[in-house]
């Protein structure tokens, strides 16, 4: 018969349950109960050492992989190897099951009536993890043995399932018989009996005989010859269905088949063990799992194989029933096995290190043995790791609101014994706990204890773990002066027995009692698995008079058991809710700091991913009102002003406890109200609803936008965002949601109809372009073109198809991108590009410039798939691009390594030269762009590292990849021509490493007129003090040698001062070296453009040393200071007169002087940029012309401040009597016009109150502008 065709899953990561079966019969039983068998998953990569045999399948909702041990081998070592190989090859495994047969430890007289075929399951008992290793013992006097330790617990998700199935079995029977029946029906052969195979069925009660532990088996394969008088009499059962037993499983390498040895081992182990087996101990620390065993014998001399198959089947059936209680969501939230193992290894390493350090300390005190015994006896979890992790997440300055809170202060002063800090998940309670710890630790003379509960680590989830940790902290800190723990250790037989939770509580309280001031921080009570026990201890602490000095702070979510218990115990005045407003301020502080130090956010051109995230910001309250007033389910959908809510806040009355109104600052620093979901659980609930599935949601939003935009123009030709608040958002975001929604034929036809309706289309397009001035708008290059262009930009392939079918010309020209095809290529809309190509779009069509081809756009923007498609369709390389010589150089300059690799595979020559490009070759483009990976790729395929461009410059000038190019043999002798131009522009990124390389490569650093002199002079501009010392001191360069590196050279010295960071140390270095900075110099023209980057100290140093470049040309030092808002520089320059060969400049001319060509004065620039402090300083100086205007537009400082909404500056200027309020610009627009047009109401009122003329000519246009803007 041909083998069955099995389904293969797409990835091995789909398998999350690992099932280990030691014997072939155990594997057969596991395979037989699968709901579905799979073939090996696609993409499986076995670990080189993995020799396991796997069976793949599904049980219920879980994908299970069954791993078998090597044939004929069993025991701890083999099991550990199998588990390690499984977790190495399948790192996705999160929970484990060890399922098979075992030998019972029967105690009929002690209610442990375990019989053959029954199932035994490992279960922790509070002190053990459910499995103990019986041969991990040490010898004791009197021929006794002592077990050395317990093994790890099963994963929490399995323990929860265990609790659930036990509860159900109290109400109803197990489903094991049903599962076995289904197995036999599907696999009839398993039910057949023979001498060789008794079958996977119950073997009959007559064949289940238990003998006295001392009675040895009489020879033979069965017990037919054994004496019936030696048989233990047990009550007959009503049914042959297996019973289930939970308890400790004893595991080891020794096969137990003797009744006397069996009972002795149990006595030595000292635990209530109910089963023997030979794999679990080897697995449990390599593969955290639950152990399930079917009983096949009684671990005595009467052992035989008759019951093994049936026992294998009952164990497998129970495991299948158990998996039905394991939620897939909880499995996904569990840590992967490999992560748990790494954590165990790390903890083991940390514990080992701690033990070594503590041993040295204890030995020095002469009590090493005793202290080591106490610490080992406690076996406390280390919660400091949680605190340290939270500290790393903490942003400096946040959380101060808690320390200033009145309730917290009362608690620290001892006015309140306990304080409960509660809040929603993820609001920062754990971080605040570390802030409290660090705050309290500043004061000496008090005991500070802490424990952090966490759901991810079982040992940190119980009251027992908490008390062990606190006891450990007290003992380690030397606070157990009366030796309470040491005495308790002695009572527990020097650690032979473990303390109970009650014992630990009593010991901890006795240690705390004599101390005067104690603080205890308990974080995340809600993550404890036995909350009632934790709350009992809290109650004891609060109510015990002898512990009145112990002050406790605990954090948790606001959950029912805490709400019912804690306020009634400690009082409502001791309950502190998280201050959401303060938390929001902390979040703003954190985000602001991150953005300031992240260079990715300094460029105004935002990435598409970031724009997509910005689009997901909440609706404002006004926008939400408009959405409610739009009925998208009506046919046709309609918006009606009459459907608006009477009050915007009525929305809270309609959705109580679901939404909240939050005040935030928008991009223009205005306060707006946003509608937020009240809790994360609301979002989780909504996402489960079918209407909130992405496609359905996008369809609803698209219909709402279309209806709203269509209906708001019924009564007016002019739409403003103030009258119709949703209009800007609807216009701007329509295409974004339409791209998903167009999968609906109905939506697609509505979009085609709307875009095809000339009146609607023109109004929508006008509104989009009106909105494009916002900094977040991704339509900043949106063309004024036909509807096909917009569909192509937005990737509306179905809509574009309909537009084309209606007769649109795919090659029609437009303003921004040339045509729809170019637009789709530029925006990376691959499906739309395919559509246009299929409809005869020209692959070699040109963009706005004749030099820009579609292939150029695709390469420049990094669209690999589109570039590959264009090449397949016959697109040609253009040899004279506007920005770069060809597509390869374009991709290289922009860092698109995927496109570069594609072009190289198409055999595009990396050394090709062009005539009109900015860079001579792809290598130069990559070099000056700092794309080292691309440069290496080009060099590997033969690009010339010494190729020169038209200015005779090579890629070596790209100092950011200096090492790479030298390694590929770049020629230092190419560094000679046009260095002032090229090196001034491109070598400023060189660092001290580059200087060291040059010093290593050039033999004679004092040679005259050498290329090295030029490089070293130029490098001096961009290195910090350390690099200067390398290049000018450590190399022992002769500064005064003619033609060498002269520190009096204006090039090296001036540029070094400009680019050095902060302080005056660089200047001091030059002075110590004997530098006397020259006056004048031909470098001034290139020195001025970089002045805006200077900090205060270098400017001051230059003026003090008499440098005239600051006062020459167009870059006035005060103008620079105003532009950068460096108030301290302005103050310093206004007060300082420096004489070199005379006054630097008259103070009056410095203040009022404008730059040649544009008329910009310091005052104008400060008003335009909103630098209120600089404006105030300048106004106070005599001779400042408050009415000066720029040459281009003729605007005054007041006009700029009014236009950009700088209210503080406007109010400051209005205090000056010499200010002309209504001085118009070249377009006859006053400050009042600009303020009204931009909607700055407060500034309009201030100008009118000061007497600005509202009835001057063009007033109609002024106030029409204000009205149209809202």
CB of 570 closer than 8 Å to CB of 407:
no
Mean predicted confidence (pLDDT) in 995-1003: 36
pLDDT tens, position by position, 390-440 = 888 777 778 888 888 899 999 999 898 999 999 877 678 888 999 999 989
DSSP letter assigned to residue 245 = E
Residue 1160, SS3 per DSSP: coil
Q: What is the arrangement of strands in the sheet containing 550-556, beginning at the earlier edge strand?
A: 447-452, 518-523, 550-556, 418-422, 575-577
Instruction: State the pLDDT at residue 668.
Output: 57
CA distance 278 to 76: 6
Residue 119 corresponds to which tokens in the numbers above? 């199932």
DSSP letter assigned to residue 1092 = G
Instruction: State the pLDDT at residue 625.
Output: 66
E strand or H helix at 96: strand 95-104
Local confidence band at 518 (pLDDT 50, 70, 90 cut-offs)? very high
pLDDT tens, position by position, 1146-1173 = 333 334 444 444 567 778 888 888 888 7
Instruction: State the pLDDT at residue 992.
Output: 34
CA distance 1148 to 1182: 7
More confident residue, 703 or 352: 703
pLDDT tens, position by position, 880-922 = 444 445 678 878 888 888 888 888 887 656 655 544 445 567 8
Residue 792 corresponds to which tokens in the numbers above? 């192509």
Instruction: State the pLDDT at residue 981.
Output: 32
- 632 to each of 166, 623, 694, 708, how far by Cα in Å? 51, 15, 17, 9
Local confidence band at 977 (pLDDT 50, 70, 90 cut-offs)? very low
- Letter string b/e over residues 360-394, b meaning 16 or more CB atoms within 10 A of that residue's CB: eebeeeeeeebbbbbbebbbbbbbebbbeebeeeb
pLDDT tens, position by position, 930-960 = 677 888 888 888 877 776 665 555 555 443 3
- Residue ranges in 548-649 assigned as alpha helix (H): 560-570, 580-596, 608-615, 621-628
Lowest mean pLDDT across 494-503, 805-814, 1010-1019, 1156-1165: 1010-1019
CA distance 258 to 262: 6
pLDDT tens, position by position, 580-621 = 777 777 766 665 555 455 443 433 333 344 334 434 567 776
CA distance 871 to 914: 20
Lowest mean pLDDT across 193-207, 560-574, 724-738: 724-738
CA distance 226 to 1016: 101
Instruction: State the pLDDT at residue 309.
Output: 95
Does the pLDDT value for residue 111 go beyond 60?
yes
pLDDT tens, position by position, 850-888 = 556 788 888 888 898 888 888 888 877 654 444 445 678
Does the pLDDT value for residue 514 go beyond 60?
yes
CA distance 679 to 657: 9
Instruction: State the pLDDT at residue 1071.
Output: 35
Mean predicted confidence (pLDDT) in 701-716: 73
* Domains of the chain from N-terminus onward: 12-219+229-339 (3.40.50.1580), 363-574 (3.40.50.300)
Q: Tokens 């090597």 correspond to what residue?
A: 70
CA distance 1033 to 1036: 5
pLDDT tens, position by position, 543-564 = 988 888 899 999 998 888 899 8
DSSP letters, 1023-1035, are --HHHHIIIIIIT
pLDDT tens, position by position, 579-591 = 777 777 776 666 5
pLDDT tens, position by position, 1062-1115 = 333 333 333 333 332 323 333 333 333 333 333 333 444 443 333 333 433 333
Residue 1266 corresponds to which tokens in the numbers above? 């204000």
Does the pLDDT value for residue 980 go beyond 60?
no
E strand or H helix at 758: helix 758-771
Local confidence band at 64 (pLDDT 50, 70, 90 cut-offs)? very high
Instruction: State the pLDDT at residue 202.
Output: 94
Does the pLDDT value for residue 11 go beyond 70?
yes
CA distance 1105 to 1098: 10
More confident residue, 1019 or 1192: 1192
Residue 94 corresponds to which tokens in the numbers above? 């999160």
Mean predicted confidence (pLDDT) in 1181-1191: 82
Length of the chain as a residue count: 1270
Does the pLDDT value for residue 337 go beyond 60?
yes
Strand-pairing partners, residue 522, are 451, 554
Instruction: State the pLDDT at residue 1126.
Output: 39
Instruction: State the pLDDT at residue 38.
Output: 95
Q: Beta-carbon neighbour count of residue 1193 at 10 Å?
A: 13
Pairing of strands 418-422, 518-523: unpaired
DSSP letter assigned to residue 620 = B
Does the pLDDT value for residue 783 go beyond 50?
no
């Amino acid at each position: 018969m041909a083998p069955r065709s099995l389904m293969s899953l797409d990835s091995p990561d789909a398998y999350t349950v690992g099932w280990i079966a030691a014997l072939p019969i155990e594997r057969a039983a596991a395979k037989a109960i699968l709901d579905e068998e799979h073939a090996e998953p696609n993409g499986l990569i076995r670990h080189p050492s993995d020799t396991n045999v796997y069976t793949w399948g599904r049980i219920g909702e879980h994908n299970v992989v069954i791993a078998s041990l090597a044939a004929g081998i069993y025991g701890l070592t083999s099991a550990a190897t199998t588990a390690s190989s499984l977790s190495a090859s399948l790192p996705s495994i999160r929970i484990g099951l060890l399922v098979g047969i075992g030998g019972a430890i029967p105690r009929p007289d002690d209610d442990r009536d375990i019989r053959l075929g029954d199932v035994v399951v490992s279960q922790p008992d509070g002190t053990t993890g459910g499995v103990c290793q019986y041969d991990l013992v040490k010898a004791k006097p009197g021929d006794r043995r002592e077990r050395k330790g317990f093994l790890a617990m099963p994963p929490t998700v399995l323990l929860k399932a265990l609790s659930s199935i036990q509860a159900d079995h109290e109400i109803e029977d197990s489903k094991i018989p049903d599962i076995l029946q289904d197995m036999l029906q599907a696999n009839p052969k398993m039910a057949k009996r023979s001498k060789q195979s008794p079958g996977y069925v119950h073997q009959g009660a007559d064949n289940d005989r238990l003998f006295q532990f001392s009675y040895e088996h009489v020879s033979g394969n069965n017990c037919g010859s054994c004496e019936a008088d030696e048989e233990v009499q047990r009550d007959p059962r009503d049914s042959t269905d297996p019973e289930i037993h939970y308890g400790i499983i004893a595991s080891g390498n020794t096969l137990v088949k003797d009744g006397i040895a069996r009972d002795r081992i149990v006595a030595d182990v000292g635990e209530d063990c109910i089963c023997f087996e030979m794999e679990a101990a080897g697995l449990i620390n390599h593969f955290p799992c639950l152990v399930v065993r079917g009983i096949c014998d009684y671990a005595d001399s009467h052992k035989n194989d008759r019951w093994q198959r049936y026992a294998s089947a009952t164990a497998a059936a129970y495991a299948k029933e158990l998996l039905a209680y394991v939620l897939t969501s909880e499995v996904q939230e569990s840590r992967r096995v490999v992560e748990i193992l790494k954590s165990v290894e790390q903890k083991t390493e940390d514990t080992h290190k701690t033990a070594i350090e503590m041993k040295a300390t204890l030995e020095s005190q002469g009590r090493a043995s005793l202290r080591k015994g106490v610490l080992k006896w406690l076996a406390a979890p280390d919660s400091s790791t949680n605190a340290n992790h939270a500290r790393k997440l903490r942003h400096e300055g946040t959380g101060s609101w808690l320390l200033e809170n009145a309730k917290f202060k009362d608690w620290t002063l001892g006015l309140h014994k306990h304080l409960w800090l509660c809040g929603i998940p993820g609001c920062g309670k754990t971080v605040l706990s570390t802030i409290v710890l660090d705050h309290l630790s500043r004061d000496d003379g008090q005991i500070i204890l802490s424990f952090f509960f966490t759901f991810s680590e079982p040992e940190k989830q119980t009251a027992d773990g908490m008390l062990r940790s606190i006891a450990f902290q007290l003992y380690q800190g030397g606070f157990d002066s009366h030796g309470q723990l040491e005495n308790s250790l002695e009572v527990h037989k020097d650690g032979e027995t473990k303390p109970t939770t009650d014992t630990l509580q009593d010991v901890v309280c006795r240690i705390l009692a004599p101390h005067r001031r104690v603080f205890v921080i308990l974080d995340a009570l809600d993550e404890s698995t036995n909350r009632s026990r934790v709350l009992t201890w809290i109650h004891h602490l609060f109510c015990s008079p002898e512990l009145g000095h112990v002050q406790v702070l605990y954090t948790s979510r606001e959950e029912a058991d805490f709400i019912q218990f804690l306020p009634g115990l400690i009082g409502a005045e001791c309950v502190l809710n998280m201050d959401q407003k303060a938390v929001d301020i902390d979040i703003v502080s954190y985000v602001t700091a991150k953005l300031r130090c992240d260079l990715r956010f300094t460029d105004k051109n935002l990435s598409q991913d970031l724009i997509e995230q910005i689009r997901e910001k909440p609706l404002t309250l006004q926008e939400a009102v408009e959405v409610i007033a739009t009925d998208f389910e009506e046919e046709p959908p309609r918006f009606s002003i009459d459907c608006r809510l009477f009050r915007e806040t009525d929305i809270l009355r309609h959705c109580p406890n679901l939404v909240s109104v939050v005040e935030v600052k928008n991009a223009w620093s205005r306060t707006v109200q946003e509608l937020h979901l009240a809790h994360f659980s609301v979002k989780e609930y909504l996402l489960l609803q079918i209407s909130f599935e992405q496609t359905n949601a996008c369809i609803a939003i698209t219909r709402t936008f279309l209806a709203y935009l269509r209906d708001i123009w019924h009564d007016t030709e002019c739409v403003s965002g103030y009258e119709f608040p949703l209009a800007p958002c609807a216009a701007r975001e329509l295409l974004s949601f339409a791209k998903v929604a167009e999968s609906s034929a109905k939506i697609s036809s509505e979009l085609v109809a709307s875009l095809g309706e000339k009146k609607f289309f023109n109004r929508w397009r006008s509104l989009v372009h009106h909105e494009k001035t916002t900094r977040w708008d991704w339509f900043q290059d949106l063309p004024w073109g036909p509807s096909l262009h917009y569909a192509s930009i937005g990737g509306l392939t179905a809509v574009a198809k309909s537009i084309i079918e209606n007769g649109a010309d795919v090659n029609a020209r437009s303003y921004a991108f040339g045509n729809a095809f170019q637009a789709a290529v530029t925006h990376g809309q691959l499906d739309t590009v395919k559509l246009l190509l299929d409809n005869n779009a020209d692959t070699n069509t040109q963009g706005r410039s004749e030099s820009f081809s579609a292939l150029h756009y695709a390469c420049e923007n990094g669209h690999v798939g589109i570039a590959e498609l264009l090449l397949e369709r016959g697109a040609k390389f253009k040899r004279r691009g506007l920005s770069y010589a060809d597509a390869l150089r374009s991709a290289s300059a922009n860092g698109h390594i995927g496109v570069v690799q594609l072009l190289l595979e198409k055999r595009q020559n990396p050394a090709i030269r062009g005539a009109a490009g900015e860079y001579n070759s792809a290598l130069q483009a990559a070099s000056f762009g700092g794309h080292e990976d691309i440069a290496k790729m080009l060099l590997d395929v033969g690009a010339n590292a010494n190729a020169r461009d038209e200015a005779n410059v090579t890629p070596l000038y790209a100092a950011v990849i200096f090492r790479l190019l030298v390694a590929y043999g770049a020629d230092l002798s190419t560094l000679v021509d046009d260095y002032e131009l090229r090196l001034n522009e491109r070598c400023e990124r060189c660092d001290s490493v580059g200087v060291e390389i040059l010093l290593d490569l050039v033999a004679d650093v004092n040679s005259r007129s050498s290329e090295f002199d030029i490089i070293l002079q130029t490098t001096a501009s961009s290195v910090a003090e350390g690099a200067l010392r390398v290049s000018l001191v450590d190399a022992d360069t002769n500064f005064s040698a003619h033609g060498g590196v002269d520190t009096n050279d204006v090039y090296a010295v001036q540029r070094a001062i400009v680019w050095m960071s902060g302080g005056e140390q660089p200047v001091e270095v030059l002075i110590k070296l004997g530098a006397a900075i020259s006056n004048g110099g031909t470098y001034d023209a290139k020195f001025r453009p970089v002045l805006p980057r200077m900090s205060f100290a270098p400017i001051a140093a230059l003026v003090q040393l008499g440098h005239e470049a600051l006062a020459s040309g167009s870059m006035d030092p005060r103008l620079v200071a105003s532009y950068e808002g460096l108030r301290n520089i302005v103050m310093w320059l206004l007060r300082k007169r420096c004489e070199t060969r005379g006054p630097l400049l008259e103070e009056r001319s410095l203040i009022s002087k404008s730059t040649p060509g544009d008329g910009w004065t310091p005052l104008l620039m400060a008003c335009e940029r909103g630098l209120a402090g600089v404006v105030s300083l300048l106004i106070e100086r005599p001779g400042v012309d408050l009415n000066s205007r720029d040459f281009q537009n003729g605007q005054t400082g007041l006009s700029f401040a009014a236009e950009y909404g700088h209210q503080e500056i406007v109010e400051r200027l209005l205090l000056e009597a010499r200010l002309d309020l209504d001085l118009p610009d070249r377009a006859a627009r006053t400050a009042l016009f600009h303020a009204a047009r931009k909607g700055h109401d407060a500034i309009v009122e201030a100008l009118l109150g000061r007497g600005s003329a509202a009835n001057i000519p063009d007033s109609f246009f002024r106030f029409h502008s204000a009205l149209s803007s809202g």
